[in-house]
């Protein structure tokens, strides 16, 4: 009863019944929660995959855009430019680059960065693809163990990347000429490498070039290989005509280097990487045998040396053994003249076997031996002479030859440098001969001869006039009379004229008379006694009578 009364009290009419419910989330909230989770995972993934941040300095920001310009290696994206700003001194542009985590090797100190843009140069056209995709930054990882986050970018792409196989070599030359970075290197007219850098030598007296020979062609470079400048066109005029030689069209425009091993060096060894070589001016000089030690000599000329230049050849009996290295003026107080002093370097080894025989005779190659050898040659008439090498250009060269008519001179063996006596050049001798001829001609009394010739011509003119007026008419009359006489004689001796018939009869008579005389002579030669005794009776039968031939 109590339970019932309690239930009745709890269910009082007019009082609402309130029931409690559990909390439940709506499905609409799942979308932003999923998006947040995805974004968070992307942030975490980006944070985990983020690579190092570096700064690269360039001269200009041409073609670069923040958050758009990519960094590529072998056309694979390895980073992005996130910011571009000026340096503190406003001389350069700093590009902030965020590399990928996999691009950590590109933070080594020797890593190279450059902007790839369309470029047109003498060595070719590059970066054409950037016309459509835009400029990007190229990269090439180095091999250094040290890392950094600041780099200086290159203004042009490097000619050789670190990944290429081959060898680097160094060349030394007097001047750069038309060579440049990217100039090709040829072997038997096939491009096998290129020039990758150049700079002045430490002493400032030449240029050092670095070249790269691609593999496997680097196996053709030996320790005796000769390199020469193959730029431009080599034109040679010889006995066989005009010869034009060049490596390729690109070597004419951008310059080039060629190399070959000489044929006279046996047992050549493969050249090591970074080995140094000399760069010669042309192929002929490069492949020539070794010159050996050079000797400096001096020559004094009392004549004009117009046409003689530095590097002009010095020849001994037609063989080039040296070159001119200096041309100076001197003053002789005694003669008050200004002689020209020519200095030259000669290479005795260019004489070949003759040099070997001279070494065996005079001893090893030194200053004293050279002085004694030169003294012996001068005593036998060795003289230096400036000769014309080209009539058209007037270029001169120095010829060392023997002159049997040269005057004896005193040679100073102790003098340094050694001085070779000289004789006038062939052209100067010709000038002297021409001058002597002109002097002789100038001594001829041309005025007197001309006056006499003028008087003679006047006399001849008067004689001709007198001949034409007096003698010539008389000659014409005489010739006319002679012509008429010949005509009358021709009429007289015609075939039917009486005179010719009488003449014919007279000739017949003369002929019969001659026959009779001949018969009489024959008879007397047989019977000479008939002149005394007379004709005997027994000879009456001999034919002696002259038989007359019938007249025609």
108-150 pLDDT, tens digit per residue, is: 988 989 888 876 555 555 555 555 667 889 898 888 888 898 9
Instruction: Please check the confidence at residue 54 and state whether its pLDDT lies above 60.
Output: yes
Whether residues 362 and 419 share a domain: the answer is: yes
Stronger pLDDT, 529 or 345, i.e. the higher one = 345
Whether residues 333 and 244 share a domain: the answer is: no
Buried b (16+ CB within 10 A) or exposed e, 518-532: eeeeebeeeeeeeee
Residue 316 lies in a domain: yes
Instruction: Please check the confidence at residue 426 and state whether its pLDDT lies above 80.
Output: no
Q: What is the pTM of this model?
A: 0.52
Whether residues 336 and 406 share a domain: the answer is: yes
The pair of three-digit structure tokens given for residue 333, joined into one six-digit string: 């107080």
Residue-range definition of the domain harbouring residue 254: 166-286
Residue 304 lies in a domain: yes
Tracing tokens 């001279």 back to the chain, one arrives at 358
What mean pLDDT do residues 358-366 have?
A: 71
Residue 320 lies in a domain: yes
Tracing tokens 């040269």 back to the chain, one arrives at 406
Cα 272 from chain centroid? 31
From 422, 437, 452, the end of a domain falls on 437
Residue 258's SS3 state is strand
Residue 498 lies in a domain: no
Backbone angles phi, psi at 145, to 5 degrees: -85, -15
Residue 217 lies in a domain: yes
Predicted confidence band of residue 1 (pLDDT cuts 50, 70, 90):
very low
Instruction: Please check the confidence at residue 366 and state whether its pLDDT lies above 70.
Output: no
Instruction: Please check the confidence at residue 548 and state whether its pLDDT lies above 50.
Output: no
The count of domains in the chain is 3
Tell me what pLDDT residue 13 has: 56
Predicted confidence band of residue 239 (pLDDT cuts 50, 70, 90):
very low
DSSP 476: H
Whether residues 400 and 308 share a domain: the answer is: yes
Instruction: Please check the confidence at residue 549 and state whether its pLDDT lies above 50.
Output: no
Instruction: Please check the confidence at residue 102 and state whether its pLDDT lies above 80.
Output: yes
Whether residues 326 and 431 share a domain: the answer is: yes
Whether residues 252 and 147 share a domain: the answer is: no
What mean pLDDT do residues 198-210 have?
A: 91
Whether residues 186 and 139 share a domain: the answer is: no
Whether residues 369 and 274 share a domain: the answer is: no
Instruction: Please check the confidence at residue 38 and state whether its pLDDT lies above 60.
Output: yes
Nearest CA among 91, 47, 99 for reference residue 71: 99
Residue 69 lies in a domain: yes
Instruction: Please check the confidence at residue 342 and state whether its pLDDT lies above 90.
Output: yes
Tell me what pLDDT residue 550 has: 47
Tell me the pLDDT tens digit for each residue of 245-297.
555 555 555 578 999 988 766 777 899 999 999 999 888 888 877 777 888 99
Residue 246 lies in a domain: yes
Residue 378 lies in a domain: yes
Tell me what pLDDT residue 447 has: 80
C-alpha 528/C-alpha 520 separation (Å) is 11
């Amino acid at each position: 009863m109590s339970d019932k009364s309690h239930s009745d009290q709890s269910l009082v009419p007019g009082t609402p019944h309130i029931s409690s419910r559990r909390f439940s989330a709506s499905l609409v909230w799942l979308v932003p929660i999923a998006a947040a989770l995805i974004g968070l995972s992307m942030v975490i993934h980006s944070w985990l995959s983020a690579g190092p941040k570096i700064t690269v300095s360039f001269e200009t920001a041409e073609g670069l855009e923040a958050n758009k310009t990519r960094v590529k290696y072998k056309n694979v994206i390895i980073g992005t430019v996130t910011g571009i700003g000026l340096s503190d001194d406003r001389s350069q542009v700093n590009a902030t680059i965020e590399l990928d985590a996999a691009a950590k090797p590109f933070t080594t100190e020797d890593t190279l960065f450059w902007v790839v843009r369309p470029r047109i140069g003498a060595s070719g056209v590059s970066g054409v693809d950037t016309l459509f995709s835009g400029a990007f930054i190229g990269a090439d990882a180095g091999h250094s163990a040290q890392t950094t986050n600041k780099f200086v970018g290159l203004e042009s792409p490097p000619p050789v990347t670190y990944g290429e196989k081959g060898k680097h070599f160094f060349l030394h030359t007097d001047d750069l000429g038309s060579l440049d970075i990217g100039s090709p290197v040829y072997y038997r007219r096939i491009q096998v490498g290129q020039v990758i850098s150049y700079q002045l030598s430490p002493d400032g007296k030449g240029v050092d070039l670095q070249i790269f020979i691609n593999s496997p062609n680097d196996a053709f470079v030996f320790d005796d290989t000769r390199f020469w400048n193959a730029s431009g066109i080599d034109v040679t005029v010889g006995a066989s005509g005009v010869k034009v030689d060049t490596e390729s069209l690109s070597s004419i425009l951008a310059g080039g280097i060629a190399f070959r091993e000489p044929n006279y060096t046996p047992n050549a060894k493969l050249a090591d990487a970074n080995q140094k070589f000399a760069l010669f001016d042309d192929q002929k000089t490069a492949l020539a045998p070794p010159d050996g030690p050079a000797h400096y000599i001096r020559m004094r000329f009392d004549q004009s040396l117009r046409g003689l230049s530095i590097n002009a050849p010095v020849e001994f009996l037609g063989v080039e053994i040296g070159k001119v290295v200096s041309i100076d003026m001197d003053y002789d107080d005694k003669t008050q003249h200004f002689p020209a002093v020519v200095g030259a370097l000669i290479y005795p080894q260019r004489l070949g076997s003759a040099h070997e025989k001279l070494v065996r005779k005079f001893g090893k190659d030194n200053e004293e031996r050279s002085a004694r050898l030169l003294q012996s040659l001068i005593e036998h008439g060795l003289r230096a002479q400036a000769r014309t090498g080209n009539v058209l250009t007037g270029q001169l060269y120095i010829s060392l030859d023997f002159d049997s008519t040269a005057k004896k001179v005193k040679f100073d063996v102790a003098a340094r440098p050694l001085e070779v006596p000289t004789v006038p050049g062939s052209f100067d001798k010709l000038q002297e001969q021409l001058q002597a001829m002109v002097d002789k001609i100038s001594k001829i009394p041309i005025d007197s001869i001309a006056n006499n010739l003028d008087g003679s011509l006047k006399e001849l003119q008067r004689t001709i006039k007198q001949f034409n007026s007096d003698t010539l008419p008389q000659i014409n009359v005489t010739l006319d009379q002679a012509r008429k006489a010949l005509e009358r004689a021709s009429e007289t001796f015609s075939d039917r004229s009486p005179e010719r018939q009488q003449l014919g009869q007279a000739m017949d008579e003369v002929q019969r008379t001659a026959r009779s005389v001949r018969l009489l002579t024959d008879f007397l030669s047989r019977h000479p006694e008939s002149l005394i005794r007379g004709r005997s009776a027994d000879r009456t039968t001999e034919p002696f009578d002259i038989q007359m031939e019938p007249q025609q």
